[in-house]
């Protein structure tokens, strides 16, 4: 194994009078042009973040209302989307890195999928009348509404997730291509602020109406996304790109592309440490739907309370986001991320005591006050940690193949989430046997998250030590894999057999 010859450049100190800092590739901006670019990208992010917030925050309540078991919730909300990510994201990212057109290599993908994504989002919002029509008219009442609803939601979720995969992947690659690198870290901070603003707006003004106006909320989010994201795709211009990098051995075709992808992304253990650490982190994400049920069904918090708290913490987050990005830039996102993860790991037993021992003996008002205090204490750590995530990947992955390596990370992480989605739901269903209260099992969401955080922190430390060996803060070079010939021959043999089959 050896390091690549071109290190990841550190973000330069921005000199607003230096014209070179307003260039990226063949694009050159004026100050006004850069501000205009930021406005369109951040407006697109606001609309996208609002759309992304609506669906996962409301559908778990729908599953609960129709009496679906937890494993079905995990299957549809986490496992199936994660499997789709594992399969589709690498293809989309690999092709986008190497795609060339008069409109660029990112915008054509984003513009093409937007209308279809909106259609499936709106149909999800009106699932109930669709399901009842299918139940009564198409199936003649032979099956119950909950049974039909599960299938309708599942089919619509597959369609929604297929088109949303394009935006989830390529949108992040776009601003890495069009934003001057001298302003990239600052843009990421503003990017998160725009997403946070969308969360504040939704949590404070809309979330409390989720049970009564699900269809209208989905329709509004879809139309706003169609207009806002479409405007961004129309107004943001990409520059010209050099010819795409060649495949391994200068070969061509599907087999050569698979071989190139596999050898470049998976032949160095450093990247595996990073992929696996992110996969364990994602294991805590799959419990998000059950976390909502923990807070509402077991803890007893109302949607209005949770929405208001989400809005308040979101406002504070807006203030802290940019300083969090400055901290990540100054001390390097990997080092900051490890420090934040260590503090969160050491503090997690407090949440354990709250859920398992304190809440059963507390009044609802006391529990709400303690929940607010804990949320405000952990908020700064969460803001700083989230400010590190995207810059960390930009610092560690090869820039010329950034989308490709991000997709490899998403593929491994998606596979872990596919297992974890059903696994978490099945684990909670298993815990039901130990208490007749059907909401008792949701307290074990903490146990799931703590186990995942142990694996996450362990592999994150391995990433850190590998980073130090590869040059650390001053001399890090993204490792370039030099796989042994026997591995190349084995891959050729596997691909050859697969092609014949």
The confidence score (pLDDT) of residue 121 equals: 94
pLDDT in tens, 256-292: 888 888 888 888 899 999 999 999 998 888 888 788 8
Averaged over 164-193, what is the pLDDT? Answer: 83
The confidence score (pLDDT) of residue 85 equals: 82
Domains and CATH numbers, the chain: 2-500 (1.20.1250.20)
Q: State the Cα–Cα distance between residues 325 and 313, nearest whole angstrom.
A: 18
Report which secondary-structure segment, H or E, holds 310: helix 303-331
Q: Residue 281's closest CA among 79, 88, 84, 459?
A: 459
**SS3 state at 134:** helix
Q: State the Cα–Cα distance between residues 321 and 89, nearest whole angstrom.
A: 28
Q: State the Cα–Cα distance between residues 280 and 272, nearest whole angstrom.
A: 12
The confidence score (pLDDT) of residue 11 equals: 44
DSSP one-letter string for 312-359: HHHHHHHHHHHHHHHHHHHH-HHHHHHHHHHHHHHHHHHHHHIIIIIG
Structural contact between residues 274 and 409, judged by C-beta atoms closer than 8 angstroms: yes
DSSP one-letter string for 67-91: T--HHHHHIIIIIHHHHHHHHHHHH
The confidence score (pLDDT) of residue 451 equals: 92
Residue 354 in tokens: 């709250």
What confidence category does residue 149 fall into, taking pLDDT thresholds of 50, 70 and 90? Answer: very high
Averaged over 127-140, what is the pLDDT? Answer: 92
The confidence score (pLDDT) of residue 172 equals: 84
The confidence score (pLDDT) of residue 12 equals: 43
Q: Looking at the predicted structure, is the pLDDT value of residue 16 above 60?
A: no
Q: What percent of the chain has pLDDT over 70?
A: 91
pLDDT in tens, 24-33: 778 999 989 9
Q: What is the pLDDT of the chain when averaged over all its residues?
A: 85
Q: Which residues contact 160 (CB under 8 A, 6 or more apart)?
A: 55, 117, 120, 121, 124
**SS3 state at 479:** strand
Q: State the Cα–Cα distance between residues 270 and 65, nearest whole angstrom.
A: 45
Please list the alpha-helical segments (H only) found in 107-206. 107-125, 127-133, 145-178, 184-205
């Amino acid at each position: 194994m050896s390091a690549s010859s071109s290190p990841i450049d550190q973000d330069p100190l921005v000199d607003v009078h230096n014209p070179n800092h307003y260039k990226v590739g063949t694009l050159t901006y004026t100050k006004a042009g850069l501000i205009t670019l930021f406005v369109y990208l951040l407006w697109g992010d606001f609309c996208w973040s609002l759309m992304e917030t609506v669906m996962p925050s409301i559908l778990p309540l729908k599953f609960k209302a129709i009496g679906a078991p937890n494993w079905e919730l995990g299957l549809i909300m986490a496992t199936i989307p994660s499997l789709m990510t594992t399969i589709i994201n690498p293809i989309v990212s690999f092709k986008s890195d190497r795609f060339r057109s008069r409109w660029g290599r990112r915008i054509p993908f984003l513009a093409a999928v937007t209308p279809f994504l909106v259609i499936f989002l709106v149909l999800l919002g009106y699932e109930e009348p669709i399901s009842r029509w299918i139940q009564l008219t198409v199936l003649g009442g032979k099956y119950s509404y909950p049974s039909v609803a599960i299938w309708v939601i599942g089919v619509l979720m597959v369609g929604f997730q297929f088109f949303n995969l394009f935006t989830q992947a390529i949108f992040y690659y776009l601003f890495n291509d069009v934003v001057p690198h001298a302003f990239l870290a600052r843009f990421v901070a503003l990017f998160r602020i725009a997403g946070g603003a969308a969360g504040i707006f939704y949590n404070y003004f809309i979330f409390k109406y989720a049970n009564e106006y699900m269809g209208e909320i989905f329709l509004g989010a879809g139309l706003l996304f169609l207009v806002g994201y479409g405007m961004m795709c129309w107004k943001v211009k990409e520059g010209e790109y050099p010819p795409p990098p060649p495949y391994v051995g200068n070969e061509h075709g599907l087999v050569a592309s698979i071989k190139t992808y596999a050898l470049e992304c998976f032949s160095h253990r450093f990247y595996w440490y990073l992929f696996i650490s992110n996969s364990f982190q994602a294991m805590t994400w799959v419990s998000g739907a059950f976390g909502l049920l923990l807070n509402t069904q077991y803890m007893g918090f109302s949607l209005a309370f949770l929405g208001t708290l989400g809005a308040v913490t979101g406002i504070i987050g807006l203030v802290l986001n940019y300083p969090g990005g400055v901290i990540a830039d100054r001390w390097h996102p990997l080092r900051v991320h490890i420090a934040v993860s260590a503090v969160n790991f050491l503090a997690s037993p407090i949440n354990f005591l709250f859920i398992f021992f304190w809440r059963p003996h507390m009044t609802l008002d006391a529990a709400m006050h303690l929940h607010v205090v804990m949320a405000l204490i952990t908020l700064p750590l969460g803001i700083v940690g989230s400010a590190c995530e995207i810059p960390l990947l930009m610092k560690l992955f090869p820039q010329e193949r950034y989308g490709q390596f991000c997709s490899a990370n998403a593929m491994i992480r998606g596979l872990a989430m596919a297992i974890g989605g059903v696994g978490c739901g099945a684990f909670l269903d298993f815990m039901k046997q130990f208490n007749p209260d059907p909401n008792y099992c949701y307290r074990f969401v903490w146990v799931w998250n703590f186990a995942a955080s142990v694996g996450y922190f362990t592999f994150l430390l391995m990433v850190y030590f590998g980073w130090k060996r590869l040059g650390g803060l001053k001399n890090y070079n993204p490792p370039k894999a030099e796989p042994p010939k026997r591995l190349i021959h084995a891959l050729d043999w596997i691909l050859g057999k697969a092609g014949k089959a």
